[in-house]
């Protein structure tokens, strides 16, 4: 195999974090490289591929460089994998067993040099599985130690840190807690009266309305915001309602957690109806990802040092209500054909506008829908009262205008051609400026070199400071020249089409206009997003901002006449897109202020 197999050798190295202890990744790689050259003939440096992950755990195989190596193995580009130690590849016996089978399938040898065995011998294969078992044991032991630490923390009932929940502040208390043999500062949560009242109000309103939406609306209408001054959302309200930190540790709380089999690290008598609940091991925390809530039977519940805010019976009642409401949660209608969701904004308050379907149909048999401002809906018209545009007609208008930009006579194509000509005309000027700047930079560098030589020849003279000042001045000039050079190079590189690219773009636009009507709903949505940055409805006119273009108003008196009948879901508020006539009488995109 060694004489005929032209596949590469892979070195894999991993270190979960930089500690300055143990073998560094560089040392691991060098030892593996030496091993390959010692045990395989005629191996060149280019025959060895290096894959290194730093800052990733061996508990799973979700590591970027490891996955890159496996991709090449599956492409049959690697004949052997060498690592410093087995647990660099995996600490999980299940993962490693699958990897071993995959290595065998692709005829890939595996060697762990520190453990001194490889897959080419039966004893090596047996030893490898044994070592992997021990690696798994170590991982489970670590997890058990972490859980023991959680128990120690539960004894103290202290706050672990992180984002302090609304209604509380973190305060250091006298004394400390010992975890893993280390003494750590102890903290507890103290109530912030104003915020605590908001928390109580949120629970009260939810119990009263049995609705996240209605609770959200109440908070918006009464201008009740988060501690950061932002509006609450249904998501943030749900998170508050589900957080056990607000629950008073009373007998109802004890009975609730006990009935669910949750590990309670306190005596029943400690649930005194005064302190709050502190739940440990509540979330799964992964770097780069939002925290995930663990199942409640994995929690470790204790009585905290802080005061609770919500009676146990009320907190339990809210959990039951949330659970029952899941089956009634909003589902996106499958028949929704609206095209502008995610593109259309309310010009009055800046919120997204979403389609609202009615049960009525128009002359074409289509379900009539309007676009409704999210803030208007959530606040029940109190914070925004923008009129609802007729969605069916607005979608058609936008589509027709986008199709028109593909015509040679459209303003968009004309403006594109104008910009292209201007940039082409400026190219020669840019090149001249670049050449002049590069020449000036070279001359300045030579002057600096000469002045440095002069300084070396005449130290400690009256001219020393003068020459140093000249050098500094020339250096500052050079920095400005470099910045200007980068700006000019960026202009020519990023904004100038070649003639071939420009012609190809025009052809794509033409084919787009011809094929748009044959597209499905999802294809049309994607096509619109390829051209449109955003659309703003100001209650009367529609303003469209295209990618790489100026803002345009879509106007048409003919369209206004065609939309004279109100077809919105809310007749007293719906409005037809109204605007001024564009030049030429037919609806054409019209240049506005540059974005």
Residues 89-109 have pLDDT tens digits of 776 665 676 777 788 789 998
Q: Judge whether residue 556 has pLDDT over 80.
A: no
The model carries a pTM of 0.47
Instruction: Inform me whether the pLDDT recorded for 325 exceeds 70.
Output: yes
Picking from 121-135, 152-166, 392-406, which range would have the lowest pLDDT averaged per residue? Answer: 121-135
Q: By C-alpha distance, which of 168, 145, 162 is closest to 304?
A: 168
Instruction: Please give the structure tokens belonging to residue 279.
Output: 């739940």
Among 47, 54, 10, 16, smallest CA distance to 32 is for 10
pLDDT band at 9 (very low <50, low <70, confident <90, very high): very high
Write the CA distances from 565 to 230, 298, 363, 542, integer angstroms.
39, 59, 12, 18
The CA angle 492-496-501, to the nearest 5 degrees, is 145
Residues 304 and 274: their CA atoms lie apart, in Å, by 10
Could you read off the pLDDT of 372-404 as tens digits, one per residue?
Answer: 998 888 888 888 888 899 988 899 888 888 777
Q: What is the pLDDT of residues 426-446, one digit of tens each?
A: 666 777 888 888 888 888 888
- Give φ, ψ of 174 to 5 degrees: -70, 140
The domain defined by 168-328 folds into Hect, E3 ligase catalytic domain fold (3.90.1750)
Residue 17 has pLDDT above 60, yes or no: no
Q: For residues 112 and 82, what is the distance between their CA atoms, to the nearest angstrom?
A: 6
Read off the pLDDT band of 78 (50, 70, 90). very high
* Residue in the block written with tokens 């998501």: 235
pLDDT digits (tens, 9 = 90+) for 170-221: 888 765 555 445 556 777 889 999 999 999 999 999 999 999 989 999 998 8
CB atoms within 10 A of CB 235: 10
Written out in words, the top-level CATH class of the domain with range 8-142 is: alpha beta
CA angle 27, 28, 34 (to 5 degrees): 90
Can you give the length of the chain in residues?
A: 595
Tell me the average pLDDT of the chain: 76
- 32 contacts: CB under 8 Å, gap ≥ 6: 11, 13, 82, 83, 84, 113
**Residue 304 pLDDT > 80, yes or no?**
yes
Tokens coding 514: 């011809």
Give the whole-angstrom CA distance, residue 197 versus residue 191: 10
CA angle 431, 437, 443 (to 5 degrees): 140
Close Cβ partners of 550 (under 8 Å, ≥ 6 residues apart): 415, 591, 592, 593, 594, 595
Percentage of the chain exceeding pLDDT 70: 67
Burial (CB < 10 A; 0-12, 13-18, 19+), residue 49, is middle
Over range 44-70, report the average pLDDT: 86
pLDDT, tens digit (0-9, with 9 covering 90-100), for 453-480:
777 666 667 777 777 788 888 888 888 8
Q: Where are the domains of the chain?
A: 8-142, 168-328, 344-407+519-591, 411-504
120: pLDDT confidence band, cut at 50, 70 and 90? low
């Amino acid at each position: 195999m060694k004489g005929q197999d032209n596949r590469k050798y892979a070195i894999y190295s991993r270190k979960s974090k930089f500690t300055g202890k143990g073998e560094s990744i560089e040392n691991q790689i060098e030892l593996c490289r030496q091993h390959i050259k010692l045990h395989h003939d005629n191996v060149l440096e280019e025959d060895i591929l290096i894959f290194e992950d730093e800052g990733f755990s061996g508990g799973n195989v979700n590591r970027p460089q490891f996955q890159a190596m496996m991709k090449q193995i599956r492409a049959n580009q690697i004949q052997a994998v060498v690592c410093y130690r087995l647990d660099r590849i995996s600490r999980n016996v299940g993962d490693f067993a699958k990897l071993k089978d995959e290595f065998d399938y692709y005829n890939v040898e595996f060697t762990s040099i520190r453990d001194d065995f490889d897959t080419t011998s039966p004893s090596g294969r047996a030893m490898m599985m044994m070592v992997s078992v021990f690696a798994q044991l170590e991982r489970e032991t670590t997890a058990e130690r972490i859980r023991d630490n959680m128990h120690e923390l539960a004894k103290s009932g202290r706050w672990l840190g992180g984002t302090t929940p609304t209604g509380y502040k973190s305060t250091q208390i006298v004394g400390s807690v010992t975890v893993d043999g280390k003494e750590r500062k102890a903290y507890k949560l103290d109530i912030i009266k104003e915020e605590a009242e908001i928390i109580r109000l949120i629970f009260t309103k939810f119990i009263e309305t049995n609705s996240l939406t209605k609770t959200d609306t109440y908070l918006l209408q009464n201008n009740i915001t988060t501690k950061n001054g932002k509006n609450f959302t249904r998501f943030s309200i749900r998170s508050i309602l589900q957080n056990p930190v607000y629950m008073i540790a009373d007998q109802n709380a004890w009975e609730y957690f006990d009935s669910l089999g949750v590990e309670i690290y306190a005596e029943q008598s400690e649930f005194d109806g005064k302190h709050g609940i502190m739940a440990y091991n509540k979330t799964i925390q992964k770097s780069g990802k939002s925290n995930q809530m663990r199942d409640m039977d994995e929690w470790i519940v204790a009585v905290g040092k802080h005061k609770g805010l919500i009676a146990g019976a009320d907190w339990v009642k809210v959990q039951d209500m949330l659970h029952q409401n899941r089956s009634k949660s909003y589902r996106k209608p499958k028949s929704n054909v609206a095209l502008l969701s995610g593109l259309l904004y309310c010009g009055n308050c800046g919120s997204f506008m979403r389609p609202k379907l009615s049960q009525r149909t128009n002359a074409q048999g289509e379900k009539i829908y309007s676009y409704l401002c999210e803030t208007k809906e959530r606040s029940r018209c109190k914070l925004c009262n923008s009129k609802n545009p007729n969605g069916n007609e607005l979608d058609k208008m936008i589509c027709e205008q986008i199709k028109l930009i593909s015509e040679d006579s459209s303003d968009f194509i004309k403006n594109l051609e104008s910009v292209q000509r201007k940039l082409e005309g400026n190219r020669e000027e840019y090149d001249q400026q670049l050449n002049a700047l590069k020449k000036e930079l070279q001359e300045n560098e030579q002057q600096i070199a000469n002045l440095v030589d002069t300084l070396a020849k005449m130290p400690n003279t009256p001219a020393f400071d003068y020459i140093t000042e000249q050098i500094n001045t020339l250096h500052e000039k050079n920095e400005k020249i470099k910045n200007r050079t980068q700006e000019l190079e960026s202009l020519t590189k990023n904004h100038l089409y070649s003639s071939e690219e420009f012609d190809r773009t025009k052809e794509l636009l033409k084919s787009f206009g011809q094929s748009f009507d044959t597209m499905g709903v999802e294809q049309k949505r994607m096509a619109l997003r390829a051209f449109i940055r955003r659309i703003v409805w100001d209650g009367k006119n529609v303003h469209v901002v295209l990618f790489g273009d100026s803002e345009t108003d879509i106007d048409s008196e003919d369209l206004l006449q065609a939309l004279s009948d109100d077809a919105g879901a809310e007749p007293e508020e719906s409005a037809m897109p109204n605007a001024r006539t564009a030049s030429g009488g037919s609806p054409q995109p019209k240049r506005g202020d540059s974005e």
